[in-house]
Amino acid sequence: MNEHLNTTDQPGTAKHRRADRKLGRTMIGLGAVVGLGLAAWAGTANAATSSGTATAKATPTCSAAALKATYGQQLGGGMNHAGIVIRLRNLSGKTCALRGYPGLGLENSAHKKLTTHTTWGNTWYAHNPGKKTLTLKDGESAEAVVAWTHANTGTSGAVHAAFLEITPPASTQHKTLALPQWVDHGDLSVTALAKHITVTP
C-alpha cells in the first residue's frame, strides 16, 4: 500500500518540479530584463547629469584680459548731470559669462587713484536692469550706464578726473579709459550689466 502511494506520487512531484523550474527561469528572465532597464535608466541619468555639469563648466566667467572696454553713447542734460554708456566686449575667442556690476574708480592724469564712491542701481539716465547672468559669445558685448554730476570747481570736494577704471564682475584686474571730467565728490552711480539698456539722453 505504501509502495503504491509512493509510486503514484512520483509523476506529480516531477510535474511540480518542472513547473517550479519553468517559473524560476521565468523569474530570472524577468529579473534580468528589469535589471537591464534599471541599468539603462541609471546610465541615462548619469549621462544627463554629466552633460549638465559639463555645460555649466563650459561657460567660465569673463576675465579682464578677455574683454575690451569702450564707451558707447555719451549722456548729458540739465542740472549738471553727465553720464556715459560703458561696454565690455568679449574678444577671448570663446564664450564666457558676466553677472553683476562693474567696479569703477577714478584716476588723475598721473594714473593715481582718486577718492571714488560708487552706488549700484538706477541712474539719472536709466533704470537698473538687475543682476542677470549674461552669456557672451565671442564678439558680443554687455553694457552698463554710469552717471555723475559735475559743477566743476564750484563744488566743494569736486574731483578732477582724467581716467576711469572699469573692473569686470568677479575680476581683480581693471581696464582703463580716458575720462577728463569733473565729478562732484567723486560720486558715481552705475547700473548692472545687461546686453542692452535703454537710456534717456
Rounded Cα gap, residues 103 and 86, in angstroms: 12
Describe the strand order of the beta sheet including 175-183 as a list of residue ranges.
113-114, 103-107, 159-167, 175-183
Decide if pLDDT at 54 tops 60: no
Decide if pLDDT at 171 tops 60: yes
**CA distances (Å), 149 to each of 18, 182, 186, in order?**
96, 8, 9
What are φ and ψ of residue 98, in 5° steps? Answer: -130, 145
The percent of residues in the chain predicted with pLDDT above 70, rounded, is 70
Mean pLDDT, all residues of the chain: 81
Decide if pLDDT at 175 tops 80: yes
Decide if pLDDT at 48 tops 70: no
Rounded Cα gap, residues 161 and 158, in angstroms: 9
User: pLDDT tens across 88-101, in order?
Assistant: 999 999 999 999 99
CB 145 within 8 A of CB 198: no
Decide if pLDDT at 170 tops 80: yes
Decide if pLDDT at 28 tops 80: no
